[in-house]
């Protein structure tokens, strides 16, 4: 709940419709109570009459607010005077003591009606402020986790890239061509890691703020997969098997977001199964296409799969400790923004399969 909602809640009050319904209900309730008490006039004392009407006013005030409550208190005052105070069926009062009792009844009824409304409003304010406090606590927890993750994950590639470039620039170090190439490759790889981390941070911020731009269109899945594979480095590309048929139906998606999702899933699979192969397959399932990214690494347990879409989850046994733990949550957020679905399941024989279910263009036509 956004900050500042307290003021809006306080200023809105009850709707006119609710007040009108409560007013009608109050009249019906007072009429029924009057008819009942009038029938049992000889059995009920005036004190009990006052208390019963006071209870009715309190109930009405709780439901309809102070205006309805005070109006009901005035009506109850007149009804008690007319039906239950001597002389009956007139607004005259023969006993001065009864006048005092009626005035006290009216004052108490009006005061209680106002206090009931005040208590109700205070309860609403407490609920709003509690929700705001919980939101702030959650945001603070997220910020703390983010700072911890950034302090660790940015430092490692920065240190490695700095070490590589410093070695290349050092005048007292003699390097042959192979060593120079190895250091340049190392620096390039670590800079790519930094770019990925920063992109994931920016994406996480856009998702949390609800400002992610989505441009849905008809997308050829095989072209997306080929683009993702082409964007990998030589070593990664040699370990990817593309089995997505060129004649798959067009899917409804945001091309850029879908490329980010697939690239992230492919790199996750390659990282999890060091030296292994990641396969991409696609199958038509009703009016959807399911694109699977399949690896044969250590995989994730059922508990880990259930927690994988929470930010900052690290599964070191999958070799993913080099990242912020934002990859899968961001992929899931991108898929949700495209009306797609990301699921995880265990690969037969071991490993993890990430499935992206996308609607075909016929399904959304």
In a domain, 140, yes or no: no
CB 194 within 8 Å of CB 158: yes
In a domain, 147, yes or no: no
Provide CB contacts within 8 A for 173, sequence distance 6+. 167
- The DSSP H or E segment spanning 343 is strand 341-346
| Domain end residue (candidates: 168, 189, 209) | 209
Do 360 and 222 share a structural domain? yes
Write down the pLDDT at residue 10: 34
How far is residue 189's CA from residue 25's CA, in Å, rounded to a whole number? Answer: 73
| Residue 8 pLDDT level (bands cut at 50, 70, 90) | very low
Do 329 and 232 share a structural domain? yes
Do 159 and 122 share a structural domain? no
Percentage of the chain beyond pLDDT 90 is: 17
Do 111 and 186 share a structural domain? no
Mean pLDDT of 282-307: 89
- Nearest partner of 145 among 308, 272, 314, judged by Cα: 314
- The count of other CB atoms within 10 Å of the CB of residue 294 is 22
Long-range contacts of 35-39 (CB under 8 A, 24+ apart): 37/83, 37/84, 38/83
Do 329 and 200 share a structural domain? no
Percentage of the chain beyond pLDDT 70 is: 74
Mean pLDDT of 111-140: 75
In a domain, 144, yes or no: no
Write down the pLDDT at residue 239: 93
How far is residue 344's CA from residue 190's CA, in Å, rounded to a whole number? Answer: 28
Do 38 and 164 share a structural domain? no
- Tens-place pLDDT, residues 309-357: 776 555 444 444 444 455 788 788 888 888 899 999 999 989 999 999 9
In a domain, 49, yes or no: yes
In a domain, 57, yes or no: yes
| Helix axes of 155-169 and 96-153: crossing angle, nearest 10 degrees | 30
Write down the pLDDT at residue 319: 40
In a domain, 277, yes or no: yes
Which range, of 53-67, 92-106, 127-141, 309-323, averages the lowest pLDDT? 309-323
Question: Is residue 277 scored above 80 in pLDDT?
Answer: yes
Provide CB contacts within 8 A for 312, sequence distance 6+. 145, 146, 149, 324, 325, 326
| CATH number of residue 256's parent domain | 3.30.565.10
Long-range contacts of 305-309 (CB under 8 A, 24+ apart): 305/344, 305/345, 305/346, 305/352, 308/344, 309/342
Question: Is residue 148 scored above 50 in pLDDT?
Answer: yes
- Tens-place pLDDT, residues 315-324: 444 444 444 4
How many structural domains is the chain composed of?
A: 3
- Nearest partner of 360 among 294, 292, 282, judged by Cα: 282
Do 347 and 254 share a structural domain? yes
In a domain, 56, yes or no: yes
Do 221 and 187 share a structural domain? no
Question: Is residue 17 scored above 60 in pLDDT?
Answer: yes
CB 259 within 8 Å of CB 224: yes
Do 164 and 227 share a structural domain? no
| Domain end residue (candidates: 209, 227, 242) | 209
Do 188 and 100 share a structural domain? no
- Tens-place pLDDT, residues 78-105: 777 777 777 777 776 666 666 676 677 6
Question: Is residue 271 scored above 70 in pLDDT?
Answer: yes
Residue 297 DSSP code: S
Residue 360 DSSP code: B
| Residue 204 pLDDT level (bands cut at 50, 70, 90) | low
Which range, of 22-26, 128-132, 281-285, averages the lowest pLDDT? 22-26
Mean pLDDT of 283-299: 91
Which range, of 141-150, 191-200, 292-301, averages the lowest pLDDT? 141-150
In a domain, 139, yes or no: no
The residue segments making up the domain with residue 294 are 217-364
Do 178 and 249 share a structural domain? no
How far is residue 308's CA from residue 314's CA, in Å, rounded to a whole number? Answer: 8
Question: Is residue 4 scored above 60 in pLDDT?
Answer: no
| Domain end residue (candidates: 132, 167, 193) | 132
Q: What is the mean pLDDT of the chain?
A: 77
Do 59 and 191 share a structural domain? no
């Amino acid at each position: 709940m956004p900050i500042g909602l307290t003021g809006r809640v306080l200023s809105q009050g009850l709707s006119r419709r609710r007040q009108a319904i409560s007013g009608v209900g109050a009249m019906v309730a007072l009429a029924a109570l009057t008819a009942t008490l009038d029938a049992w006039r000889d059995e009920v004392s005036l004190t009990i009459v006052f208390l019963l009407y006071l209870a009715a006013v309190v109930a009405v005030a709780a439901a309809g607010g102070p205006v309805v409550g005070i109006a009901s208190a005035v009506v109850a005052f007149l009804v008690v005077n007319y039906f239950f105070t001597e002389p009956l069926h007139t607004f005259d009062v023969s006993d001065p003591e009864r006048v005092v009792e009626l005035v006290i009844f009216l004052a108490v009824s009006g005061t209680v009606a106002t206090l009931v409304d005040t208590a109700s409003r205070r309860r609403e304010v407490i609920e709003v402020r509690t929700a705001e406090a919980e939101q702030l606590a959650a945001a603070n927890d997220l910020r703390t986790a983010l700072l911890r993750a950034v302090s660790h994950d940015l430092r490692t590639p920065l240190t490695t890239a700095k070490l590589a470039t410093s070695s290349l620039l050092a005048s007292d170090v003699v390097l042959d061509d192979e060593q120079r190439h190895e250091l340049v490759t190392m620096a390039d790889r670590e800079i790519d890691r930094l770019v990925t981390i920063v992109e994931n941070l920016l994406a996480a911020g856009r998702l949390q703020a609800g400002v992610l731009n989505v441009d849905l269109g008809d997308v050829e899945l095989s072209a997306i997969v080929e683009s993702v594979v082409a964007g990998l480095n030589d070593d990664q590309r040699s370990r990817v098997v593309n089995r997505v048929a060129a004649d798959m139906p067009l899917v409804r998606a945001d091309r850029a977001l879908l490329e980010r999702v697939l690239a992230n899933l492919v790199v996750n699979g390659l990282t999890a199964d060091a030296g292994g192969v990641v396969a991409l397959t696609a199958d038509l399932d009703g009016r959807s296409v399911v694109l699977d990214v399949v690896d044969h690494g250590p995989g994730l347990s059922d508990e880990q799969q259930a927690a994988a879409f929470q930010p900052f989850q690290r599964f070191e046994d999958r070799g993913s400790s080099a990242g912020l733990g934002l990859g899968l949550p961001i992929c899931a957020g991108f898929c949700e923004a495209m009306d797609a679905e990301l699921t995880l399941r265990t690969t037969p024989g071991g490993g993890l399969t990430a499935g992206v279910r996308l609607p075909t263009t016929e399904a959304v036509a």
